[in-house]
Amino acid sequence: MKPAGAETLYTQRSRRLADYGFDGVTLLILPAALFLLLLFIYPFLYGLVHSFMPKSGQWYANYAKFFSDPYIYQTIWLTLQLAFPVTLVNVALSVPIAMRVRLMRHQRVLTTILVIPITLGTVLVADGLLNYLGPQGWFNRVLVTVGLIDHPVRLVHNYTGVFLSLIITGFPFTFLLALSMISGIDPALEQAAATLGARARQRFRHVILPLILPGLAVIFCLSFVDAFSVFPSAVILGAPAGETRVISIAAAQAAFEQYDYSFASAIAMIMAVVQFVIVGIILTARSLFYKGPAGGGKG
């Protein structure tokens, strides 16, 4: 039991904090905000300032160097060629599988199996695929043995190998987000539509899809950012000097091969801007088609 005077002092202090917009819940946000400031905002601002401090030339020399060299600026397009298809496939697979899993009896067991690749890490998955899908790997050996092919299929050190690796490592992340979102939908809504004669496709189109559309846009953005930052898979399974020379490889080469950290910071800033633009477009498109429960937007 606190003394009456201490309780009064505590109450007065809480009221003063509340007058300035701070309450107990707000104060709990401060550690997370400090963590975000130290590990994300400060490094971003440091890199932004450092990108305008080139080794030679004007303050914009790093950006001019990037966009004047086709071999460097084409990495944006090469990265988008990987990130967009991977994101579309992961989202397209995660939604129907999540809808099915949420109705299963042993949901936890199946969910655990599906998220195992997250625990392995991208490097281990890439190294495993290199041995499994390589010319002398199990996959090609089985196909050659049974007579389906005459010579090994090239599935590594190209676009295909990186694509498969990103699907394996990115799908569990997308699936967990989709499962948590779809599990929050009241099954009674779908059952009511079924009693009115709506088929499975109609129930999904007119009941489920309008409810998950806002969350689906966020899932797409998170999955895209995860795929856009690909690096280990592109180096181990791809062609780092060719079709899978993504923008993160260009930044790493500038920093650790050319020792030009200012130019590497500029590439990282360009990488961030591209992601911000894509995410902004997706979220803007979401707001055009969905105004919220009270907005009367298009379902």
Domain of 91: which CATH number?
1.10.3720.10
SS3 assignment, position 151: coil
> Dihedral through CA 222, CA 228, CA 231, CA 233, nearest 10?
80
Contact 117, 172 (CB under 8 A): yes
If asked whether residues 14 and 97 sit together in one domain, one would say no
State whether 172 and 116 are in the same domain: yes
Q: Is-contact 173 226, C-beta < 8 A?
A: yes
Q: What is the mean pLDDT of residues 22-45?
A: 82
Task: Check whether residue 191 and residue 134 sit in a common domain.
Answer: yes
3-state secondary structure (DSSP) of residue 113: helix
Residue 42 and residue 122 in one domain:
no
User: Is the pLDDT at 24 greater than 90, yes or no?
Assistant: no
DSSP code, position 170:
H
Q: Whose CA is closest to 267, among 65, 14, 126, 70?
A: 65
Both tokens of 100, joined, read 């099915």
In a domain, 294, yes or no: no
296 inside domain: no
Same domain, 30 and 72: no
Average pLDDT over residues 222-240: 93
Whole-angstrom distance, CA of residue 179 vs CA of residue 226 = 18
At 9, the pLDDT band (50, 70, 90 cuts) reads: low
Asked if 285 and 188 sit in the same domain, the reply is yes
Query: Does residue 295 sit within a domain?
Result: no
Quick one: tokens of 255? 């920093």
Same domain, 116 and 224: yes
- Contact between 2 and 10 under an 8 Å Cβ cutoff? The reply is yes
163 & 253 share domain: yes
What's the structural domain count of the chain? 2
The answer on 267 and 246 residing in a single domain is yes
Residues 81 and 185 in one domain: yes
Does residue 60 form part of some domain?
Answer: no
Quote the CA–CA distance of 237 and 222 in Å, as a whole number.
23
CA 90 to chain centre: 10
22 and 132 in a single domain? The answer is no
Give percent of the chain with pLDDT exceeding 70.
88
Residue 280 pLDDT level (bands cut at 50, 70, 90): very high
pLDDT at 294: 43
Mean pLDDT of the chain: 86
Asked whether residue 298 is domain-assigned, the answer is: no
Instruction: Let me know if residue 93 belongs to a domain.
Output: yes
Under a CB-based contact definition with an 8 Å cutoff, are residues 250 and 197 in contact? no
pLDDT at 295: 42
The pLDDT of residue 83 is 95
* Same domain for 75 and 168: yes
Q: Please state, in angstroms and rounded to a whole number, the distance separating the CA atoms of residues 259 and 269.
A: 17
Q: What is the pLDDT of residues 139-193, one digit of tens each?
A: 999 989 898 888 889 999 999 999 999 999 999 999 999 998 888 888 888 888 8
- What pLDDT is stored for residue 297 in this prediction? 43
In a domain, 59, yes or no: no
* The pTM of the whole model exceeds 0.85: no
**Residue 129 placed within a domain:** yes
| Structural domain for 27, as ranges | 7-52
Contact 102, 182 (CB under 8 A): yes
- pLDDT, tens digit, for every residue of 97-117? 988 888 777 778 888 887 788
